[in-house]
Amino acid sequence: MSYASVLLISAVIVNTVCFVLSAISLYQLGQIVLGSDVLAFRAAQFYCINPASVFFSAAYSESCYALLAFRGMLLLERNLWISSAIFFALSGAARSNGLVNIGFLLYRTACDMVAWHKVKARISVIRFALYVCRLAMVLLLCFVPFLAFQHYAYTIFCDQSATYQDLPEHIRQYGNKLGYRMPYMEQSAWCSSWPQLSYSYIQSSHWNIGFLNYYELKQIPNFMLATPMALLCACMTVSYLMNHPLFCLSVGLLPHQCSSKKCFVYVVHTTVLLIFGILFMHVQVILVKALILPHKLHM
């Protein structure tokens, strides 16, 4: 086989294994969050048979990201902060939107603070300082892969001393064929901007990502493709809000009777991704962004 064929077969095998492990992790997460083995199994089933599952066997990073993100959520539910932060950090290395997972750590911190206040526990200065240091450490850990990649991109594409021979031939041919700006050419606009983030420039200039940029007549088929998943997520959010209005108004922090307390942060996570996906991203991406947890939210 050719080298390219070996790479493709390897990618399919690795992604399929990651997909299976991510489904297992989602099932274990559902057991804790949903409080039901049946609902957790059903959620994992829907995750496996959703229309976007084709991306989990192709040469994309979705399978790896899903495994790392689900595992991080599961470990956080088990109060394993450091291990959870490591997996969230690795998810950020797989895909830049892994930074969103920091929200789970921040929300768990807010819940802990409220719990301490409810029991009127006196916290020593040393204990509080250690808690803050731990939080700062795990947040920094989550940011490191993202920042490291931005620095790596800067050293390659913003280095004025780069030459044509610094890149492998197949990369030069690929970049020239698609008309990409190569490192040995004039510096990209993002090299002199602040903050120096390559992602923002690439997404706007090459992928046309921006507020309502995707709303074109030719994209109607893609909107139709994403509509079922978008409606499912929207119905889940509305159902949760209608069944637990006071709990949602308190952002899940104040004491209210709610049978689905642990679902709140995941509902918020899904809703934020849904809104951002509809307004800013290529709308068909919604198919692989949604975390299906609707089955207990109407109870």
Report pLDDT digits (tens) over 171-204: 778 888 877 777 767 777 778 777 778 877 777 7
The domain tally of the chain equals 3
Shared-domain flag, residues 104 and 197: yes
Shared-domain flag, residues 65 and 174: no
Q: Considering 43, 58, 78, which residue would you say is the last residue of a domain?
A: 78
Handedness of CA 151, 76, 278, 66 (dihedral sign): positive
Shared-domain flag, residues 42 and 107: no
- What is d(CA 36, CA 30) in angstroms, rounded to the nearest whole number? 7
Q: How confident is the model at residue 95 (pLDDT cuts 50, 70, 90)?
A: confident
- What is d(CA 51, CA 69) in angstroms, rounded to the nearest whole number? 20
- What is d(CA 266, CA 26) in angstroms, rounded to the nearest whole number? 12
Chain centre distance of CA 161: 35
Shared-domain flag, residues 73 and 39: yes
Shared-domain flag, residues 213 and 152: no
Shared-domain flag, residues 126 and 165: yes
Mean pLDDT of 123-140: 80
Q: Indicate whether 168 pLDDT > 90.
A: no
Of 86, 51, 60, 62, nearest in space to 72 by CA:
86
Shared-domain flag, residues 99 and 179: yes
Shared-domain flag, residues 66 and 117: no
**194: exposed, middle or buried (C-beta count within 10 Å: 0-12, 13-18, 19+)?**
exposed
Shared-domain flag, residues 283 and 296: yes
Of 84, 114, 51, nearest in space to 264 by CA:
114
Contact 56/37 with Cβ under 8 angstroms? no
Q: How confident is the model at residue 134 (pLDDT cuts 50, 70, 90)?
A: confident
Of 169 and 98, which is predicted with more confidence?
98
pLDDT value of residue 291? 47
Shared-domain flag, residues 227 and 294: yes
Q: Indicate whether 223 pLDDT > 50.
A: yes
Q: Considering 34, 60, 78, which residue would you say is the last residue of a domain?
A: 78
Shared-domain flag, residues 69 and 111: no
Domain extent, residue 289, equals 209-299
- What is d(CA 234, CA 254) in angstroms, rounded to the nearest whole number? 25
Shared-domain flag, residues 196 and 259: no
Q: Considering 146, 173, 206, which residue would you say is the last residue of a domain?
A: 206
Q: Which amino acid, 254?
A: L
